[in-house]
Amino acid sequence: EDQVTQSPEALRLQEGESSSLNCSYTVSGLRGLFWYRQDPGKGPEFLFTLYSAGEEKEKERLKATLTKKESFLHITAPKPEDSATYLCAVQDISGGSNYKLTFGKGTLLTVNP
């Protein structure tokens, strides 16, 4: 069974204080790893897809990296508007034509001004 574990559960940063969020996963075969941002009471907002170990993607202050067992979401010089829950999800290639996402519980990031 696919498993996704995110750490820490919650992270509080000062504005400008860089840090990383971790996503550890267990799948039969990784089709893709996805990062989403979710604001309270809203649906998840797509950020990145990573497909193979060594891959990196960047968007503004965010950079996502992937190894064979985990992914990191690096946040450089965060701003208060980066405060949100960040969700990691995996797609397992053994699912065949079922492209379900298995999510972790998320990391609640708070950036103080």
Partner 1 sequence: DAGVTQSPTHLIKTRGQHVTLRCSPISGHKSVSWYQQVLGQGPQFIFQYYEKEERGRGNFPDRFSARQFPNYSSELNVNALLLGDSALYLCASSFYGSEAFFGQGTRLTVV
Token duo for residue 37: 């941002």
Range 55-84, binding partner 1 (CB under 8 A):
none
The 3-32 contact track toward partner 1, x by CB under 8 A, reads: -x--------------------------x-
Q: Tell me the three-class secondary structure of 67-89, residue by residue.
A: CCCEEEEEECCCCHHHCEEEEEE
Of 58, 50, 89, the residue nearest 76 (C-alpha): 58
**Nearest residue (CB) to partner 1, 14 versus 97:** 97
* Among 29, 68, 81, 97, interactor with partner 1 by CB under 8 A: 97
Of 18, 34, 47, the residue nearest 104 (C-alpha): 34
**Shortest Cβ distance from residue 87 to partner 1 (Å)?**
6
Task: Please report, as ranges, the residues that interact with partner 1 according to CB under 8 A.
Answer: 4, 31, 34, 36, 41-46, 49, 87, 89, 91, 95, 97-106
